[in-house]
Amino acid sequence: MTPGNRTAGNRPLVYGHRGARTEEPENTLRSFRRAAELGADGIELDVRVSADGRLVVIHDATVDRTTDGEGEVAALTLAQLRSLDAGSGERIPTLDEALASFEGLVQVEIKAPEAVRVIQDLPERAVLTSFHPEVLEDAARRLPRVARGLITHRPGDDMLRTAKDLGAAWVCPELTDALTPGLVERCHAAGLRVDGWPAADRELLHGFVELGVDAVTTDHPGRIEEWLTG
């Protein structure tokens, strides 16, 4: 399965947001493995850089919300980050560990721009994503063979133009009234795949299916089949 293909049943691909974060501690190996068990086609994870230049998987700029520690991720070494409990005894994983824990598709969201300078390469099944065009521009220069995706709160033709200018493979728009079947069709005509979020309940999921998106990102990967058939 390549990052641009729907499933055999022609339903959207399903990305588990930070793994299976409603069941397990987010952005942990346990969460990624649980997403795989629940049938997710892919996972979405967040990458920052430790004080000693290691790529670590954590959403926030600080460790305060998701661990038993305090402080900025960028001010802590990998060893210090590893000493923290990220929930249920899990540790903050490195990007390499996260990729090894899940064999499916992976969206690697760049939370700290300096992470692009640390990443050496990514497998073909991975897509680098960001809300920030300048981050994707840097990724295009440094990692030209890695697919890129533009995340946005504001779907529309500006999103489409920006993604095309960046040479992106994906757009990842939040669901608003501006995300229409026509916009999805224009994205497809431009060679862009569309990953809609958040697929937070049955109604939203069916809305995304009607829009014709290629993928959805959800906190509930284990409920997608139930929502699709119910």
Closest by alpha carbon to 92, among 79, 106, 108, 107? 79
Residue 92 to residue 152: CA distance in whole angstroms: 26
17 is known as an active-site residue: yes
Residue 141 to residue 107: CA distance in whole angstroms: 19
Catalytic residue among 59, 132, 188, 206: 59
Instruction: List C-alpha distances in Å: 4 to 47, 90, 214.
Output: 22, 32, 8
Catalytic residue among 17, 132, 153, 188: 17
Q: Is residue 171 exposed (0-12), middle (13-18) or buried (19+ Cβ within 10 Å)?
A: buried
Report whether 25 contacts 6 (CB < 8 A): no
Report whether 40 contacts 12 (CB < 8 A): no
Report whether 167 contacts 145 (CB < 8 A): no
Whose tokens are 């947001």? That residue is: 17
DSSP track, 160-210 = HHHHHHHT-SEEEEB--TT--HHHHHHHHHTT-EEEEB---SHHHHHHHHH
* 215-218 and 105-110 beta bridge pairing: unpaired
59 is known as an active-site residue: yes
Catalytic residue list: 17, 59
